[in-house]
Amino acid sequence: MAPWAITDQVEYLGQDLRAHLILKDIRPFEVWRLDLPGGGEGRTVADIRSLTLASRPNRSVQFLFAVRRFLGRLFGWDKESEDRAALFQSRLAEADRELSTVATGTKDGPFTVLYVHPTEAMSEIRNKTVHAALVWALLPKTDGYRLLWGIHVKPVGRLTAFYMAFIKPFRHWIVYPALLSRLFNLWCSTYNSTREESANE
């Protein structure tokens, strides 16, 4: 059984997260969980972030990302909003920015980092298809850690519902499993003496 899965929102919503206050009017669209064995004490979201930046996704995911970039250019989907007040970034308190180990506004691919705190991080994307926030919450467990990945989606028009429905098979069967599998394997090879195998990417 894979250590990752889409999950119900009960555990995620039960966490005392800054993101829940910032996004209080936007319920999660979906939540994924990833169980990470071992790792030692004191692991943070910064460790997770460093692993995700350590290597490129597999070829299938790279291909899908390339297709999405092409379509975005073709249809003008990826033009960033000029309405700064509508961004989730405008909801941050000064403490959110000051405590972040990555500067608010740092670009992370198509996303913008809002904050990276020790046990929580949030990034944002807003274009003509969707306005979304990605939230990571890292929870210590008796045998390691659990990463909860909350995806919050705010519609930007009638296209949003169609777009999210269209990409759902790609998200659920290719992209997210591949990304979580890669993160799991990098975690095990970095923090555990014996690498634990996951399903093939």
pTM for the structure as a whole = 0.89
Segment of 71-80, 84-93, 117-126 carrying the highest mean pLDDT? 117-126
Residue 21 lies in a domain: yes
Residue 48 lies in a domain: yes
For residues 71-92, give the mean pLDDT.
Answer: 84
Instruction: Write out the residue range of the structural domain in which residue 121 sits.
Output: 4-191
Ramachandran bin of 40, using left for φ above 0, alpha for ψ from -120 to 50, beta for the remaining angles = left
Q: What pLDDT score does 93 carry?
A: 97
Structure tokens at 84: 């700064």
pLDDT band at 201 (very low <50, low <70, confident <90, very high): very low
Please report how the helices 45-52 and 176-191 are oriented relative to each other, as an axis angle in degrees rounded to 10.
110
For residues 187-200, give the mean pLDDT.
Answer: 64
Residue 74 lies in a domain: yes
